Amino acid sequence: MADVPALELVGITKQYGPVRALDGVSLSVRAGEVHALMGENGAGKSTLLKVLSGVTKADSGTLRLFGSDVNLSRFTARAARDAGVAIVHQEFSLIPSLTVAENIFLGSELASRGVMRDAAMATEASRLLGRLDAGISSKTLVGDLSLAQAQLVEIAKALAGDVKVIALDEPSAVLSGDELDKLFDVVAGLAASGVAVLYVSHRMDEVFTLCERYTVLKDGQNSGTGSIAETDATALIASMVGRNVSQMFPPSALRPGEVVLQARAFEVAGLAPLDLDVRAGEVVGIAGLQGSGRTRLARGLFGDVPVIGGELRLGGKPARLGGPAQAMASGIAYLPEDRKGMGLALGKSVATNVSMLSWRRLRSAGGLIGRAKERALVAGAVRKLSIRTSESGSAPVGTLSGGNQQKVVIAKWLELLPDVVIFDEPTRGIDVGAKEQIYTILRDLADAGKAVILISSELIEVLGMSDRILVMVDGDVVGELPGDTATEEKIMDLIVSHRPETPAVSA
């Protein structure tokens, strides 16, 4: 029985009307293995996880757990749980007003003769959190937790029971730095304890760090499977997008013009004073660990956090940024790292999101929004950025994939016709094909004469896109590297040599 997979899916199909979401998909995961499930958005990963969790019933195929066939027609969410299968979804299912312990046992409360055993649940919750080295009290309200802590609570919730197979859907999407290291330790610890781990991620570095084998889906079908040790990123990307991607990052024209944004002794509250020049036509990358101050600097340039000293000039003229509205009027656009919480109105249509910052241009003589102008603006943005939605933009933006949501955020800001565009984690949580499209948009902006600032936790992204790279440590810029000669080793050398022993500032 030692060679029998903990989880085996054979020929799984699922059809929604004319769309075949899964078309004969197969994979197997061994006990104690971390197995990567990869593919672009829409490839079928989410549908497969729903089948595995018992939320969606497959039309046909075979599911085996430790060699025993499971009756798919009777495989419900409760049956999956009872069989030791747990799923940690990308979207949190926690209730902020409840405690950590209450969330962990929500729907499966410990009770005796109809009375909740609160003490027993608190004790068991503390044990589960201790298994993850979470450092979180079971009595804490979930609403008071950081995103990283909430992620660990989601995992603890999944582990509340005799879990034998666990699927983690983009668990690192909101993490970086030390938080990411802790997640890696948790995943490795689960595998070491004999749990079969199915790991869904768009981040290549994670896949090669954590996983032993991989399965790639494309258009609802198997596109590749094998050993991580016997493949490379180029081959995996080719399996996902269906073609060779010899150059993921578009080349730089590297014809920078005049300085568009100039900062001298610019001091954002909580950061050290710094000097910064960004020219028309160049991409300036900002690298640093979580907590280095990258996002705080961006928000300071956008007027979203206090600036306590120094000078900022835009187009050679002094700028006084009293807030985001003034920054926007001065020609600065800021695409935040939290696109769902800060960048989009998820319940509103694509059209509303794209046009919401452009109402001044769309007003008619009577002060009303010109609907014909709005329709033309939205249709033009949809075509230009290849947003996968109708040209009318009538669909709620929350129904779009992550990559298309990010394109809507970009479209919204570009309609302001900015001179400076600040991208903060522009490809977080989106698939490799969409990343390539975002990179092309970003480079096109620079080639069109925009001054672009790029912040990313993925060093390969900073290295691939930047003409110059600034390295930040603990709120201070500690070095600058030319984009064409910078390497990951040079960036990390700067970080390690300047990293203090004291705790870092907020990101």
Cα distances (angstroms) measured from residue 413 to each of 163, 251, 283, 388, 408: 45, 24, 17, 18, 9
- Percentage of the chain modeled with pLDDT above 70: 92
Closest residue by Cα to residue 200 from 37, 45, 91, 40 = 37
Please, which pLDDT band fits residue 117 given cuts at 50, 70 and 90? low
Q: Which residues is 152 bridged to in the sheet?
A: none
Q: Which amino acid is at 288?
A: G
The tens digit of pLDDT for each residue in 146-172 reads: 877 888 888 888 888 789 999 999 887
Highest mean pLDDT: which of 236-245, 256-265, 354-363, 493-502?
256-265
Indicate the SS3 state at residue 50.
Answer: helix
Average pLDDT, the chain: 87
Of 116 and 393, which is predicted with more confidence?
393
Are 454 and 284 a contacting pair, CB within 8 Å? yes
Of 271 and 433, which is predicted with more confidence?
271
Q: Which amino acid is at 390?
A: S
Domains by residue range for the chain, with CATH:
7-241 (3.40.50.300), 247-331+418-507 (3.40.50.300), 340-417 (no CATH)
Buried b (16+ CB within 10 A) or exposed e, 344-353: beeeebbbbb
Comparing 52-56, 63-67, 181-185, 481-485, which segment has the lowest mean pLDDT? 181-185
Model pLDDT, residue 339: 79
Model pLDDT, residue 175: 67
CA distance 338 to 428: 9
Please, which pLDDT band fits residue 505 given cuts at 50, 70 and 90? very low
Q: In what order do the strands lie in the sheet with 221-227?
A: 85-88, 165-169, 196-200, 34-38, 213-218, 221-227
Indicate the SS3 state at residue 291.
Answer: coil
Model pLDDT, residue 107: 66
CA distance 310 to 328: 20
Q: What is the DSSP string of 57-118?
A: --SEEEEEETTEEE-GGG--HHHHHHTTEEEE-SS----TTSBHHHHHTTTS--EETTEE-H
Residue range 448-461: average pLDDT?
90
**Cβ atoms within 10 Å, residue 156:** 27
- Count H helices and E strands in the chain, helices first: 17, 22
Comparing 1-10, 146-155, 252-261, 358-367, which segment has the lowest mean pLDDT? 358-367
The tens digit of pLDDT for each residue in 382-408 reads: 988 888 888 888 999 988 888 888 899
Longest dimension (CA), the chain: 78
Are 79 and 71 a contacting pair, CB within 8 Å? no
Model pLDDT, residue 109: 66
Cα distances (angstroms) measured from residue 328 to each of 266, 336, 494: 19, 14, 33
Comparing 242-246, 322-326, 367-371, 410-414, which segment has the lowest mean pLDDT? 242-246
Closest residue by Cα to residue 93 from 153, 139, 171 = 153
Indicate the SS3 state at residue 487.
Answer: coil
Q: Is the dihedral of CA 89, 93, 98, 103 positive or negative?
A: negative
The tens digit of pLDDT for each residue in 261-302 reads: 999 999 999 999 999 999 999 999 999 877 789 999 999 999
The tokens for 486 are 């910078």
The tens digit of pLDDT for each residue in 159-215 reads: 887 899 999 998 877 666 677 788 888 899 999 999 999 999 877 888 999 999 999
Q: Has residue 341 got a pLDDT over 90? A: no
Residue 187 DSSP class: H
Residue range 225-242: average pLDDT?
87
Model pLDDT, residue 120: 84
Indicate the SS3 state at residue 482.
Answer: strand
Indicate the SS3 state at residue 296.
Answer: helix
What is the residue whose two structure tokens read 């069989």?
83
Q: Has residue 328 got a pLDDT over 60? A: yes
Q: Has residue 502 got a pLDDT over 70? A: no
Of 114 and 326, which is predicted with more confidence?
326
